[in-house]
Structure 1
Amino acid sequence: MIPAGQFILRPYQPSDALDISAAVRESTETVGRWMSWAKADFNEYDAACWVAHCMQARAAGTAHEFGIFASHGEFVGGCGLNQFSSLNNLCNLGYWVRQSRQGIGAATAATLALRDLGLGRLGLSRIEIVVAEGNVASIAVARKAGATHECLARNRLQLHGKPTAAHVFSFTP
């Protein structure tokens, strides 16, 4: 577990699947606009598959995915370091927060904790946050966390099957 302000980051466990699926379904209007996987039919099986994938990736050292939990245990959202490049010693940092808990600082707290994990313990040279153009809330999180805005890259992401421009932010030591 990693402390993150008033939140705790914890690796996903199989018992989280029900809470994850409920949070995703609750958040299709907000998270689903920017994350193609966040659909109204996202179910407990989908969440269990995600948890299994995260556990395998953690064991292989290819990703560090976490649930964001309130101090009393409520599932608030997810975050992680993924898309590692060993050649370039960098990775991607991503986050999402369930609709009913957006705006309480969870994404920013998680971002700061993951920045410290990546640049500190993992010894990375660079962490990127890539945010679809128009995702004002996520851009605000990256800025509030102190990430450097580098560019607006054309066709940087695929969003709902279409190439989409995205802002690239970074953390470096």
Structure 2
Amino acid sequence: MLSQDLVPLPTARLAFRQMTEDDLDVMAALLGDPEVMRYYPRPRTREEAADWIAWNRRLYREAGHGLWIVTLRDTGEFVGDCGLTPQLIEDVTEIEVGYHVRAALQGRGYATEAAAACRDFARDVLDAKRLVAIVRPENLPSQRVAEKIGLPFERTAISRQELPVYVHAADL
């Protein structure tokens, strides 16, 4: 069993830590931001952000991974979340790398840097054999992130919300 307090290694600019209930304000602001959530059916409520934190804390305990809080190494400033979660896509559960970056910090390469660290964690710590990114077709920035970290387009699928998605995937 993996230690439940493992996190990806820091990168040149970013650090990772587990979410706690104390992160509710920043996570509610992140997940409630219409710009950050523009490729989702809708922004999340504060209660849904609390559920998001609880879900990730449960994943840490049960799977040894989840979405982690991402901060700038130099200042500790909150960037967003990034990590690895189980996702059911067309009756198959896959490990997905996912992230959200504060709108004010988008376009600086933080998503790619964080996602690459999580890919390495999946390969080197979890010994995962495959990794996916599930991306809405209109979300070109996330498609580019997936490709930059070595997850090329694999196929079109239908999400749990019954929306079309692109599955980017690779064996690790």
TM-score, structure 1 normalization: 0.81
Which residue does the alignment assign to 1:20? 27
The superposition leaves residues 69-101 of structure 1 with CA deviations (integer Å, 9 ceiling, x where unpaired) of 11211111111211168xx89411111111111
Which residue does the alignment assign to 1:70? 72
Does 2:34 align with 1:34?
A: no
Runs of 4+ in 1 over 4 A off after TM superposition: none
Does 2:152 align with 1:144?
A: no
Identity %: 26
Gaps of 5+ in 1: none
The superposition leaves residues 11-70 of structure 1 with CA deviations (integer Å, 9 ceiling, x where unpaired) of 112211111112233x31x3222223524xx22x44333222211221111742201111
Contact 2:30 2:36 in 1 (8 A): no
Spell out the pairing of 1:22-101 with structure 2 (5 A cutoff).
Answer: 22-25=29-32, 27-28=33-34, 30-36=35-41, 38-39=43-44, 42-43=45-46, 45-61=47-63, 63-71=65-73, 72-83=75-86, 90-101=94-105
Give the length in aligned residue pairs. 161
RMSD of Structure 2 on Structure 1 (CA): 2.3
Which one is further off, 14-23 or 130-139? 14-23
TM-score, structure 2 normalization: 0.82
Contact 1:133 1:164 in 2 (8 A): no
Question: Greater strand percent: which structure?
Answer: 1
Gaps of 5+ in 2: 1-6
